[in-house]
Each structure stands twice: as structure tokens, then as C-alpha cells.
């Protein structure tokens, strides 16, 4: 007997100029240059960034719905749905709360606002009035009621991630309970999901254009000079976020058998896109697709990533306590230990209520400061000018936090293919499989 085995050939590497991450780097650089040299032109390019983000947001709701439903329906044991959800929320609560503590600690050690001695009477309270008004709506009851959509269609129309999840999870469970009779519906949903992910790939080709327009607008509108005036705050926030990703998330990744640096390299296109657009949602569909490719089970990805985008906001949490302390220091207000602990406790609650709120970081900060009367809300006007630049760092940190969380929960559940993960993080095409085996008689 003689046999021959034909192995799949690894795909040829694309030319460097066709790599998405390089295209986005070039786009961000050109956008920053235009925004700096011709500010009015940079501001006028805003529609390019807005259009790309709208394109991606248009498909986020169906992508989440299809991923969650097909993932849950493919489970044999419905108990795993509850297990994944509980472990995910346990992770979110511990790590995101630790991020708040990190921000508070760094603010006390570095004291970026100390010595500014700003008179509260000189602040423009009207500049933050709109954010304060929105923060009043962030009640626990209001948040819980908002999770329930007024209609099935309404959840998709509004693009509310939590509302889509609220419908998708029981719908997936219902399909599982029906059993074999649901197979035709599941086949249609699987095919539709494949089409939507192909659509994601098509839209991502426009990512450099979106990043170019968004970054040109940011620099043109707010100017590099605004960063210089508050360099201590911006620099401290960026340094803290980088250390949080490399040290805290790096340690969590190492304990779970993978490298944070390799994960960053694997997600470099998405990270640059998030940086350029200042929106982690712009890369959400692509993140879900990549995590599945890296060996995380579809059901885990579908449950953890969307909920993480609402409840696991590490970057936003670091920003909240750090910014609150900066404002107090800049105004010469000494917060006692009790007031700082109150700030921390309120931030832990308000950060969880920020799910689905546009401009969540700034609005949640307003909600938190309202409970600490010694720090005037008008103090937020101090950081309004650089908030856009810090929002980019918030988005990138939130993005990495959710990528790590998904892989960790998948490992805890035994739903992580270590071979696929290693191949993905090492830049390999994946385990080669035999595609044809021929056996011939001599």
C-alpha cells in the first residue's frame, strides 16, 4: 500500500503596503499633519470619520445578535450560558474596580494637578452643563428599565448593545430547547452571520479613510496646544493606561497562558483603528471575528465581548478617578481619605451605569462628582479641551481589557483552543490540516 497526503499551503503574505495596520498608521499621520497645518480643513474632514463609524455601528447589532444566538444554540448544555455570564461578570467587577483603584493611587502619588491653584470662580460652568444634565438620567432603575427594548425591532433600530443581548440570549436558549426542529432556522442564521462577517471585511477596507478624517478633525478642532497646557494630566493618564495594560492585563494574560505583547501584535489593526477614530465600537465586529479565529468558542465571544463593552471599561475607570483627583488638586481642594473612598465607591457604581451612554467617560465623571460636594462640577471645564485626546486612550485600554477578558473566560470554561491561540498570536496561518488523503493499491 502506498499513500500520499496533500497538505494545505500556507497563504502567501500580503505586500506591506496592502497591510491594514500600515494604511491606518499612514492615514493617522496624514490626518494629524493636515489638522495641525490647516485646522479648518481638518475640521471639515469630520464627516469621513463619522461616516465610517456609522457604517460599522450599522452592523454591530446584527453581528452581536447572530453571534450570540448561533453560539448559544450550538451549546448542548444550557448551564454553560449561565456559567459564562457569571464568570464574565466576576472578572469585570474585579478588574474594572481595580482600574479605579489604580487611577486613584496614581493621582495621589503623581499629583498632576498640584500647584495650578485655579480659582473656581473663573471656571465656565455652562461648558459642562449639558454633561451634568445627562448624568442625572443615570439611575439604577432607569438603567435596568432601558435594558428591556420597547420592541424586538427597536433594539436593532437604536443599536443598543444591551437590548440586543437581552433579546438574543433567550432567543438562542429557545432554539436550543426546540432541538432538531430549529435546525433550518439555525442554518439560515449561520449563513447570515457568515455574510455579515464578510461585510465587516468589506467595510474595514475603508478604515484608513475613517481614521484619516477622524484624526484630522481632532487635531484641527482641539489643537496640539491644548495638550501642552494640560500635559501633566494627559501624560499621567497615558502612562498609567499603558502600565495597566502591560503590567496588570499582562499578568492576567501570563497566568492564563498567553502573552499580552503578542495579543497586542495580533490586534494591531484594530488598536490603530480605535486610536484613529477614538471609538472602540469601530473595531467591535472585527474583534469578535479575530477572537474566534484565535480559538475562543463563538458562544463565549458572543456573550463576553458585548457585555464587556458595557461593563468592563478599564480605561474609562482609570480616567474617572484620575481626572476627579486632578480637578480637586488643580482647584487646591484637599480630599480627605473618607472623601476619596466615597469617590471610589460612587465611581464603582456609576461606571457600571454608563453602559450604552454616548460620551460615557465624561458623563460618568459628572455623575460621580455630583456625589462629592467639595469638588465643584464646574471643575470639569478644566479638562474639557483635552478630553477628546484622552478618549482615544480610554477606548484603546477598554478594547484591550475586553480582548483579555474574553480569552480568560474562554480558558476558564475550557472553551479555548490553545493550538489556534498559539498559532494566531505567533502570526502563523493556523494548524495545517490534511486536505486530501489518497490510498492506492500497489
CB 317 within 8 A of CB 324: no
Question: Average per-residue pLDDT in the chain?
Answer: 79
The reply to whether 442 falls in a domain is: no
CATH classification at residue 210: 1.10.3860.10
pLDDT tens track for 251-272: 999 999 999 999 999 999 889 8
pLDDT (0 to 100) of residue 264: 95
396 lies in some domain: yes
| Residue 170, number of CB atoms within 10 A of its CB | 13
User: In whole angstroms, what is the distance from residue 274 CA to residue 254 CA?
Assistant: 24
CA distance 71 to 299: 4
Three cell numbers, residue 102: 489604580
Q: Is the pLDDT of residue 131 over 90?
A: no
Cα dihedral sign, 30-31-36-40: positive
- Range 418-424, long-range pairs (CB < 8 A, 24+ positions): 418/257, 418/295, 419/295, 420/293, 420/294, 420/295, 421/258, 421/294, 421/295, 421/296, 424/266, 424/290, 424/293, 424/294, 424/295
| pLDDT > 70? residue 110 | yes
Cell numbers for 71, please give them.
453560539
Q: Hey, which of 74-78, 219-223, 393-397 has the most confident mean pLDDT?
A: 393-397
pLDDT digits (tens, 9 = 90+) for 2-25: 444 443 344 456 666 667 777 888
The predicted pLDDT at position 129 comes to: 54
Residue 38 lies in a domain: yes
Of the ranges 39-43, 219-223, 365-369, the best mean pLDDT one:
39-43
Is there a domain that residue 5 lies in? no
pLDDT tops 60 at residue 134? no
The reply to whether 10 falls in a domain is no
- Any bridge partners for residue 3, and if so which? 439
> Measuring CA to CA, how many Å separate 350 from each of 73, 332, 398?
34, 25, 16
Query: Environment class of residue 140 by beta-carbon count within 10 Å: exposed (0-12), middle (13-18) or buried (19+)?
Result: exposed
Joined grid coordinates for residue 151: 420592541
pLDDT digits (tens, 9 = 90+) for 287-311: 989 999 999 998 899 889 888 887 8
The total number of structural domains in the chain stands at 1
The verdict on residue 441 lying in a domain is no
Helix (H, G, I), strand (E, B) or coil at 307: helix
Interval 308-367: pLDDT, tens: 887 888 988 898 889 888 888 888 888 888 888 888 887 777 666 554 444 566 667 777
Question: Angle 37-41-43 (CA atoms, 0-180°, nearest 5)?
Answer: 105
Q: Read off the pLDDT of residues 160-199 as tens digits, 9 standing for 90 and up.
A: 777 888 888 888 888 888 878 888 888 898 898 888 888 8
294: left (phi over 0), alpha (psi -120 to 50) or beta: alpha
Q: Which residue has the higher pLDDT, 129 or 30?
A: 30
For residue 403, tell me if it sits in a domain: yes
Q: Which three cell numbers stand for residue 286?
A: 472585527
Give me 304's grid cell.
Answer: 463576553
Q: The domain containing residue 371 runs over which residues?
A: 20-434
| Close Cβ partners of 410 (under 8 Å, ≥ 6 residues apart) | 295, 296, 297, 300, 301, 304, 416
Contacts of 100 (CB under 8 A, 6+ apart): 317, 318, 320, 321, 344, 347, 348, 351
Inside any domain, residue 351: yes
231 or 44, which is more confident?
44
Amino acid at each position: 500500500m502506498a499513500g500520499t497526503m496533500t497538505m494545505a499551503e500556507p497563504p502567501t503574505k500580503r505586500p506591506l503596503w496592502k497591510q491594514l495596520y500600515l494604511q491606518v498608521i499612514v492615514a493617522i499621520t496624514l490626518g494629524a499633519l493636515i489638522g495641525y497645518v490647516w485646522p479648518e480643513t481638518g475640521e471639515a474632514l469630520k464627516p469621513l470619520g463619522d461616516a465610517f463609524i456609522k457604517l460599522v455601528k450599522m452592523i454591530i447589532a446584527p453581528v452581536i445578535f447572530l453571534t450570540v444566538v448561533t453560539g448559544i444554540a450550538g451549546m448542548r448544555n444550557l448551564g454553560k450560558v449561565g456559567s459564562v455570564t457569571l464568570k464574565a461578570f466576576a472578572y469585570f467587577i474585579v478588574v474594572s474596580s481595580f482600574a479605579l483603584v489604580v487611577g486613584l493611587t496614581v493621582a495621589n502619588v503623581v499629583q498632576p494637578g498640584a500647584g495650578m491653584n485655579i480659582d473656581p470662580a473663573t471656571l465656565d460652568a455652562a461648558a459642562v452643563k449639558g454633561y451634568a444634565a445627562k448624568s442625572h438620567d443615570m439611575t439604577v432603575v432607569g438603567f435596568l428599565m432601558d435594558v428591556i427594548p420597547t420592541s424586538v425591532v427597536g433594539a436593532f433600530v437604536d443599536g443598543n448593545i444591551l437590548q440586543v443581548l437581552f433579546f438574543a440570549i433567550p432567543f438562542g436558549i429557545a432554539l436550543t430547547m426546540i432541538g432538531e426542529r430549529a435546525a433550518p432556522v439555525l442554518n439560515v442564521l449561520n449563513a447570515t452571520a457568515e455574510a455579515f462577517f464578510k461585510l465587516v471585511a468589506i467595510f474595514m477596507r475603508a478604515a484608513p479613510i475613517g481614521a484619516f478624517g477622524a484624526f484630522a478633525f481632532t487635531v484641527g478642532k482641539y489643537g496640539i496646544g491644548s495638550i501642552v497646557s494640560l500635559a501633566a494630566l494627559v501624560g499621567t493618564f497615558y502612562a498609567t493606561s499603558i502600565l495597566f495594560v502591560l503590567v496588570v492585563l499582562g499578568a492576567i494574560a501570563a497566568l492564563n497562558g498567553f502573552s499580552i505583547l503578542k495579543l497586542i501584535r495580533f490586534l494591531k489593526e484594530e488598536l490603530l483603528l480605535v486610536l484613529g477614530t477614538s471609538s472602540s465600537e469601530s473595531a467591535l465586529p472585527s474583534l469578535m471575528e479575530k477572537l474566534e479565529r484565535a480559538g475562543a468558542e463563538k458562544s463565549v465571544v458572543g456573550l463576553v465581548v458585548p457585555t464587556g463593552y458595557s461593563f468592563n471599561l478599564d480605561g474609562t475607570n482609570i480616567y474617572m478617578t484620575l481626572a476627579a483627583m486632578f480637578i480637586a488638586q488643580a482647584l487646591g481642594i484637599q480630599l480627605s481619605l473618607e472623601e476619596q473612598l466615597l469617590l471610589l465607591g460612587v465611581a464603582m457604581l456609576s461606571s457600571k451605569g454608563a453602559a450604552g451612554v454616548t460620551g460615557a467617560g465624561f458623563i460618568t465623571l459628572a455623575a460621580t462628582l455630583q456625589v462629592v460636594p467639595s469638588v465643584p462640577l464646574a471643575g470639569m471645564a478644566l479638562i474639557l479641551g483635552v478630553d477628546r485626546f484622552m478618549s482615544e486612550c480610554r477606548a484603546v485600554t477598554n478594547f484591550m481589557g475586553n480582548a483579555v477578558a474574553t480569552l480568560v473566560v474562554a480558558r476558564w470554561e475550557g472553551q479555548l483552543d490553545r493550538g489556534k491561540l498559539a498559532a494566531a498570536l505567533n502570526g502563523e496561518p493556523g494548524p495545517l490540516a490534511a486536505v486530501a488523503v489518497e490510498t492506492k493499491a500497489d
